[in-house]
């Protein structure tokens, strides 16, 4: 009930946006079992639309959340398959052989554009289960949405040099390290989910401005609804994103806001 109250406030509050404002491709949304139990699919989609979200890359634990949102709004939702069947598998999945069978079954049944978001660090990327997951992504031409340190990203590219990797939260790393990684890997993209250091108080940081200017085609915004309570924040986060994006030249702002996401996932521009 508390979540539904927050949801209603988000829909009615001043952070609501007009359709004419900058569209947002939200590259980091979750709709897991505890979310859909409290926030019905129809209300979740209404919240995304109210925020001016034109596309959302969604993953869930388990995958039923994705399927619920796609059924409600196939024009809005892009589906990413997590290796988690419940929240408790975030750290255990890398050594759980049954994860591979689960991924194979879901990939045979439904259509996805990515695998992830998954948590993977350091040498764990070379374990058999993550290796087989990356091979499944290669066979199915899927983006890897990797919540990882730079070491794991390096290992993933070593396994699959042509991989397209979306680095969740930009690795929670520094602009200098992110720059180093983007220069080294031309098929690495970064989402800015659950970060505010690039625009503290809504004011664009100079180091990040330089990074966005050097790599205007490699960043995306994201809310990260990792708990149900984060869902009403989608509207506020979209408004925050527009605030700092407005401080960039319009072509760069548009790329980060939505064009990069549509390019990465091969969405025809005629869709707008």
What are 9-41's pLDDT values in tens digits?
444 443 333 334 899 999 999 999 999 888 999
Task: Please give the pLDDT value at position 88.
Answer: 85
Q: Is the confidence at residue 188, as pLDDT, over 60?
A: yes
Task: Please give the pLDDT value at position 233.
Answer: 94
E strand or H helix at 100: helix 98-109
> E strands, 15-151, where?
24-30, 53-59, 77-81, 114-120, 143-148
Task: Please give the pLDDT value at position 9.
Answer: 45
The mean of the pLDDT values for the chain is 92
- CA 164-174-189 angle, to 5 degrees, is 15
Task: Please give the pLDDT value at position 87.
Answer: 80
Q: 267 to each of 41, 76, 192, 229, how far by Cα in Å?
A: 23, 11, 21, 30
pTM reported for the whole predicted model: 0.92
Closest CA to 32 of 191, 225, 166: 225
Upstream peptide bond of 222 is cis (omega within 30 degrees of 0) = no
State how far the Cα of 132 lies from the Cα of 146, in Å rounded to an integer.
15
What percent of the chain is modeled with pLDDT above 90? 88
Q: Could you tell me which residue, 1 or 91, shows the higher pLDDT?
A: 91
Q: Is the confidence at residue 86, as pLDDT, over 50?
A: yes
Q: In this predicted model, what pLDDT tens digit does every residue of 143-159 receive, in sequence order?
A: 999 999 999 999 999 99
Sequence-ordered list of residues with C-beta below 8 angstroms from that of 2, at least 6 positions apart, any chain: none
> E strands, the chain, where?
24-30, 53-59, 77-81, 114-120, 143-148, 165-167, 188-191, 219-220
Sequence-ordered list of residues with C-beta below 8 angstroms from that of 186, at least 6 positions apart, any chain: none
Task: Please give the pLDDT value at position 5.
Answer: 47
């Amino acid at each position: 009930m508390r979540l539904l109250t927050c949801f209603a406030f988000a829909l009615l509050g001043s952070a609501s946006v007009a359709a004419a404002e900058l569209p947002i491709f939200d590259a980091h949304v979750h709709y897991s079992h505890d979310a859909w139990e409290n926030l019905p699919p129809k209300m979740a989609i209404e919240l995304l639309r109210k925020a001016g979200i034109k596309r959302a890359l969604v993953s869930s634990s388990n995958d039923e959340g994705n399927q619920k949102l796609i059924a409600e709004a196939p024009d809005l939702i892009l589906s990413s398959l997590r290796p988690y069947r419940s929240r408790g598998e975030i750290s255990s999945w890398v050594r759980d052989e049954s994860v591979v069978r689960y991924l194979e079954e879901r990939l045979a049944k439904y259509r996805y554009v990515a695998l992830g978001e998954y948590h993977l660090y350091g040498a764990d990327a070379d374990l058999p289960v993550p290796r087989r997951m990356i091979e499944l992504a290669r066979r199915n031409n899927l983006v890897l949405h990797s919540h990882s340190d730079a070491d794991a990203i390096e290992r993933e590219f070593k396994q699959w040099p042509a991989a397209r990797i979306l680095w969740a939260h930009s690795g929670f790393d520094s602009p200098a390290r992110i720059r180093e990684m983007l220069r080294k890997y031309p098929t690495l993209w970064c989402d800015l989910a659950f970060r505010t250091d690039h625009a503290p108080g809504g004011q664009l940081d100079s180091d990040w401005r330089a990074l966005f200017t050097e790599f205007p085609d490699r960043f995306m915004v994201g809310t990260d609804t990792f708990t149900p309570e984060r869902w009403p924040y989608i509207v506020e986060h979209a408004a925050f994103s527009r605030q700092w994006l407005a401080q960039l030249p319009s072509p760069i702002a548009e790329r980060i806001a939505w064009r990069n996401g549509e390019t990465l996932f091969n969405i025809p521009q005629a869709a707008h």
